[in-house]
Structure 1
Amino acid sequence: MSKDIEHDSIESLDKHEHYQFTAGSGQDPLRVDKYLMNFIENATRSKIQQGIKEGAVTVNGEVVKSNYKVKPHDDIRVSFDHPPHESLLVAEDIPLNIVYEDDHLVVVNKPAGMVVHPGHGNYSGTLINALIHHFENLPNNSSNRPGLVHRIDKDTSGLLVVAKTEEAMAYLSAQFAAKTSEREYIAIVWGNFQEKSGTVEGNIGRHPKNRLQNTVWLDDEAYKGKPAVTHYTVTEDLGYVSVISCRLETGRTHQIRVHMK
């Protein structure tokens, strides 16, 4: 662990988040369970690992496993004493727009404004709350989220594939991991393009000043984020705005918004 670590520990007003740490710019890669051992008093490694297993530790808003390597500027939050809201799934009778279904999977058209899974600030009214009401015994993915194979942003509308069986979960997850499945998005963006088609490449990570936003990190910056590739084609030029078709090689949070910006 680097000696040049900047971090803070705060007790949140929300009782479900007892600790918050921000890894400094000099943080060397370190397992998150070992990282937390250095900053949480009276916490054994087994307790930390159990909390991580139960989803009580998030990094940049995502539940992680014990072997996750902490990186510079990571935002780490811990809620050991109370189970996170995300794990308290409640079935809700929310209408679903189902465009295809068979014995193995279902394809749902998610409307804009609906969150895919519960998370900080969104503990009900999500797609998963609706899914577990309409379907019984959905298989959990690696993050213990029933049926979920992939996701899209809250304000994005579009099709989501949901696994109904363990076999479908395994096969669909493998396809998304191998990038053999293709996703196309239609977006309206401000401005006009000099080139009517092209590729945008730029590593995406958390904004250093606003942790709720993502940004493109340049090659000469300390934290370079994760690789992201977006292929675009302009389908309509409407003057002030353009309609584009995007095919993503990667699935980073807010990827289209960040790359188009």
Structure 2
Amino acid sequence: MSNYTPTKFATALLLSVLLAACGGNDAPAPETPAAEAAGTAVEPTTAEPALDAVEGEPALADAPGGDPAPADPGAPAAAMPADAAGLVAGRDYEEIPGGKPLEPLNGKIEVVEVFNYVCPACAAFQPLVNSWKARLPADVRFTYVPAAFGPRWDPYVRAYYAAEAMGIAERTHDAVFNALHIERTLKGERGEDSPAEIGAFYAKHGVDAKQFASTMASFAVDSKYNRAKQFIVRSQANSTPTMIVNGKYRIKGTSFENMLENTSAMIARVRAQGSAAE
């Protein structure tokens, strides 16, 4: 395992993102504002993917074209009503039409993070997620859902599910971010990591490299890959990281910290409404 702390990780990651933005790599990582990586008041998004439509699921659509009508400068600003949890629709979250959870809730409140290891913003977000999810109550189920938002993201969707199938996802999660964004022993957007190279990395964490690469191409991983894609399209999660509660609420925020605060508030609201048992 790599020897680093969350604080050192975040600091080093910020430096690497700043350097990468000026580095002129042939295949640069998705652009991430430096302020976002530091957790300041910006919209926490990374990539704008073009997901193919999945059979039986709606495709993501571009926003309608045309210039908006000019606002009347003399008109008063419309009030944005907050609910009992202090959340404002459109500002703090968006309700997902026809949204469904990834898994049956079975009395739990589901929180999904749509992410990918290649995403620099996800790497900056991860230390905050680690601290936040460690304090989640027992009625909350937290699940990572990896997104294939580009050809070099795809292998890491398969790598996550292969690691999960082989029982090492939890202990290797932070290490993969570190290898891609700090140590740069894996290439991510800077090149192309083959299944054999990815398998060799995971072999350092107690599995057979060839078996890992084979598992990445297995039917079980294909099934989870397709299910993840369906969930992401259905949830209209078109950037990473994205937090989704019960498949119904896509959380927004002015910073990574604020996004987690809003996720906590939505958990409290769902619990108060008694909708965890749906």
Same fold (TM over 0.5): no
Which protein has the bigger strand share? 1
TM bucket normalised to smaller: under 0.3
Structure-1-length-normalised TM-score: 0.26
> Normalized per residue, which structure has more helix?
2
TM-score by length of 2: 0.24
